[in-house]
Amino acid sequence: MGTLRAAVVGGGIIGTAAARHLSRSGVHVTLFEKEPALAAHQTGHNSGVVHAGLYYTPGSLKARLCRRGVDLLADFVAEKNLPYDECGKLVVALDASELGRLDAIEARATANGVPGLRRVDSDTIRSIEPHAVGVAALHSPRTAIIDYTAVTHALAQDVVAAGGVVCTGTAVTGLHPHGAEVVVDTTGGSSAFDLVVTCAGLQSDRLARAAGDDANPRIVPFLGDYHLLKPGPARKVRGLIYPVPDPRYPFLGVHLTKRIDGQIMVGPNAFLSPARELYSRRGWSWRDLRDIAGFPGFWRFAAQNLPAASREVRTAVSTRRFASEAAKYVPGLTVDDLVPGPRGVRAQAMNADGSLEDDFVITGQGRLVHLRNAPSPGATSSLAIAEYLVATALERVR
């Protein structure tokens, strides 16, 4: 057999990392991205956190690939001389009612081998974050921040240097297995490949289903709005200050996140998005709304999560409420300290019973491999997910 020909669909950080890993495995790679530039969707609207692996079920793909991904990512940015700041993270219990949940996270983080993790009291919280409050916290000093868009472009440079092709502004419109090949239809024409890996993020379910994969899980988009702290109040935050996750809610809630450019983001909320790729404060997609309304799993999810919806509505419609959530952790913050920040859209995979897919989901058959779900820590794990995807794909053709 001659040189294998592979197509990767999706130019976010995971798709680009997969293309790079294939090219370093001696495969001729073509990377297709429908937008004019790489990292245009979830990657380019990411908070920039490099997660250390605190929350994930030990033994899960998330837990394994997160820890492997951190090491690969740190080595890569060092090689490329890209900024990487281990600013550290506090997961803060505000009162005694949250200590049991903090214990559970500590047990998971310890099982996952999170480096440097320690339990700290209220005085030590103040020594790490002088303006933060809480009765106890977990301190993860190796949690870092990064520019994932810059990482994606550096990965793409390696693809091209290895002889691969990066096709931006080229949408994939169809995938057709045909014997020992897969024909890829694009807005620029059709080509045949020996294998295809799809990492289509917000469109992952549609692309996989069009290629013959299962209908579920479906992507239901949730928008997340951030605010930024003004320069003066921003000096109150040194790193990352997070709440203890509440199992009653499917999303984390408002937290404070330092970015690699030094700005402090507050948020996000989480609310159903009227379109899969909506980054402005107005607009909708009839197709996306129709898909949500026609999916029984969404209505089951909604019925099961009315308290969460109520909480998120309050922060979505009231900046004052948004500020008050942040002030629980950094007292004194007010609505006057905030300015509007960026918006992201999360590609949340949802099952027919209304449950959310918590782990990474990889499906496909034959010469097609689909990444169907890669929520946080997807960007952190990107190089490790790429290893896993490529190993899965090459097993099918060699």
- Please report, for the domain that includes residue 108, its CATH number: 3.30.9.10
Shared domain check, 136 and 233: yes
Lookup result for tokens 């492997």: 68
pLDDT, residue 1, reads 52
pLDDT at residue 322 in the model: 87
Q: How many CA atoms lie within 13 A of 262 on its CB side?
A: 5
One domain for residues 259 and 306: yes
Tell me, what's the pLDDT at 245? 92
| Strand order across the 181-186 sheet | 172-178, 181-186, 189-193
For 22, the domain range is 5-50+149-217+358-395
Predicted pLDDT at 312 = 74
pTM of the model: 0.96
| Single-letter amino acid, residue 237 | V
Q: Does 138 map to a domain?
A: yes
226 and 244: one domain?
Answer: yes
Ramachandran bin of 253, using left for φ above 0, alpha for ψ from -120 to 50, beta for the remaining angles: left
Specify whether 139 is located in the same domain as 161. Answer: no
Q: What are phi and psi of 263, to 5 degrees?
A: -75, 155
Asked whether residue 72 is assigned to any structural domain, the reply reads no
Could you give the C-alpha distances from 395 to 236, 327, 390, in angstroms and in order?
51, 51, 8
- pLDDT tens digits along 59-102: 999 999 999 999 999 999 999 999 999 999 999 999 999 999 99
What residue ranges of the chain have pLDDT lower than 50? Answer: none
Q: Clarify whether residues 257 and 332 are in a common domain.
A: yes
Peptide bond into 217 cis (omega under 30): yes
- The pLDDT value recorded for residue 252 is 87
pLDDT for residue 316: 67
Are 161 and 99 in a shared domain? no
**Residue 156 to residue 56: CA distance in whole angstroms:** 29
Task: Tell me the pLDDT tens digit for each residue of 246-262.
Answer: 887 778 889 999 999 99
Number of CB atoms found within 10 A of residue 46's CB? 21
Residue 55 lies in a domain: no
- In angstroms, the first-to-last Cα distance of the chain is 9
Q: Name residue 340's beta-bridge partners.
A: 227
The count of structural domains within the chain is 2
Question: Do 246 and 133 lie in a common domain?
Answer: yes
Pair (212, 226) in one structural domain:
no
Nearest by Cα to 326 from 260, 248, 261, 268: 268
* 76 domain residue, yes or no: no
